[in-house]
Amino acid sequence: MKVGDVISGYELFDEITGHGSERRFFRCRKEGIVSVMVHDQDIEQHLVLQKHLARRKIAVPQVFWSSTVDKIMVQEDLGSFSLYELCKNGEIRMDIYKKAIDELIRLQFDGREGAPIECRYDTDHIRWEQEYFRDHFLIEYCGLTPDETAALEPDFGDLTLAVMEACEPLDGYLMHRDYQSQNIYFKEGRIRLIDFQSARIGPLTYDLAALLRDAYVEIRPVLEETLRAYYYEKMKERGVGVDREAFVYCYKLIALQRSMQALGAFANLSLNKKKPHFAHFIPRGLELLERGLNETPFTKLTKAVSSMRR
C-alpha cells in the first residue's frame, strides 16, 4: 500500500505516521468523503471488537468497508483533535478529561457484557510487562547488566503479588489497555476512542492510570487527584463498593506497573523500531516511574531508578 493507490474505490492520498503501532494508516477519499484505511494483520479481532463496542454504544469509529483477506478496513476519520494535541501546549482541558473519564466508565462497564475477549490482565501479563521494561529499558536503553537486573527480581515478584491482591475487588471489567491521550479524540463534542484491539479483561484502575499518568501529557499531582476522585465517584455510581483508601492504593500500584510498561515501549520503539521520536517521552516516563516508586515500598527498584536520574 502506498499513497496514490486505489483500493476498492478508495484513493489513498496521505499516510499517517508517528504512531507506535506496526499497523499502517492512510487517509483516503471516495466520492468526496475522507476516511482512514488501516492495514492490520490482526484485522479480524479488531473488527469483532469494534462491532461489539459499537453495539454497546461505546464511541469507536464507524467501519465503512473491510477485507479480512487483504487485512484492510476503512473507518471514520476522527480528525486531528486528539487529547494529546489539545493539551500538548500545557493547558489541561478539565472538561475534556472528565468526558474521557465518562467514556472510560462506559467502556469498562457497558462494554464488559458479552465482550468477545478471552485474554485477561493476570499474573502472566504483569510479568510480561515487567520483563518488557527490564529488557528494553533497563538493559538496552540504560545499559544495566543481566546480573544487575536479576537483583531486582524480588521487587518485581513482590509488585506482581501486590497488584494482584490489591486489584482483586476491582477486577473483571473491560480494559482498553492503552487509554492515553494519543488514543483519545474529540469530535463533534464527543470523545472517540481508537487502538482498542488489545483489550483485556482486568482491573478498573489500569486504564485510569494510563490516562492520568500519561507520559505524553503532564498532569500535575493536584489535578490528577481531582480527576481520580471524579472517576471514583462515577465508579461508585455503577455499584462498585470499594472504599477510597483501597481504591487509591490499587491505583498507585497499577500506575507503577503502567509506567514500567510505557518506558519499555518507548525504549523498544526508539531503539528497535526506527521510531526515534519516542525517546523524547522517556524523561517524563522516568519521572512518573520515580513518583510511583516513592509511593510504594520497592526499595531495590527505587535505588536503581534513582541512580538513573543522577
The arithmetic mean of pLDDT across residues 12-17, rounded, is: 91
Hey, what's the cell of 271?
Answer: 531503539
All domains of the chain in start order, with CATH = 6-76 (3.30.200.20), 83-309 (3.90.1200.10)
The H or E element containing residue 29 is: strand 24-30
Which one-letter DSSP state was computed for residue 139? Answer: I
The arithmetic mean of pLDDT across residues 64-71, rounded, is: 95
The arithmetic mean of pLDDT across residues 293-298, rounded, is: 88
What contacts 84, CB < 8 A, 6 or more positions away?
A: 180, 181, 182, 216, 217
How big is the chain by its Cα radius of gyration, in Å? 20
CA distances from 267 to 22, 133, 310 (A): 15, 9, 19
CA distances from 51 to 59, 113, 114, 115, 209 (A): 11, 13, 12, 10, 26
Q: What is the structure's pLDDT at 22?
A: 82
Q: Is the pLDDT of residue 140 over 80?
A: yes
**Higher-confidence residue: 172 or 303?**
172
For the chain, the residue count is 310
Q: How far apart are CA 258 and CA 263, in angstroms?
A: 9
Block residue for cell numbers 477519499: 29
pLDDT by residue (tens digit) across 82-139? 999 998 777 888 999 999 999 999 999 999 999 999 899 999 999 999 999 999 999 9
pLDDT by residue (tens digit) across 151-189? 999 999 999 999 999 999 999 999 999 999 999 999 988
Confidence of residue 310 (pLDDT cuts 50, 70, 90): very low
Task: Write the DSSP string, 49-116.
Answer: HHHHHHHTT--PPPEEEEETTTTEEEEE---S-BHHHHHTTS---HHHHHHHHHHHHIIIIITTTT--
Q: What is the structure's pLDDT at 76?
A: 96
- The percent of residues in the chain predicted with pLDDT above 90, rounded, is 83
Q: How far apart are CA 76 and CA 187, in angstroms?
A: 11
Hey, what's the cell of 69?
Answer: 483477506
pLDDT by residue (tens digit) across 236-278? 999 999 999 999 999 999 999 999 999 999 999 999 998 999 9
Which one-letter DSSP state was computed for residue 34? Answer: E
Q: Cβ(266)–Cβ(189) under 8 Å? A: no
Q: What is the structure's pLDDT at 309?
A: 55
- The percent of residues in the chain predicted with pLDDT above 70, rounded, is 99
Backbone angles phi, psi at 302, to 5 degrees: -60, -45
Q: How far apart are CA 67 and CA 75, in angstroms?
A: 12
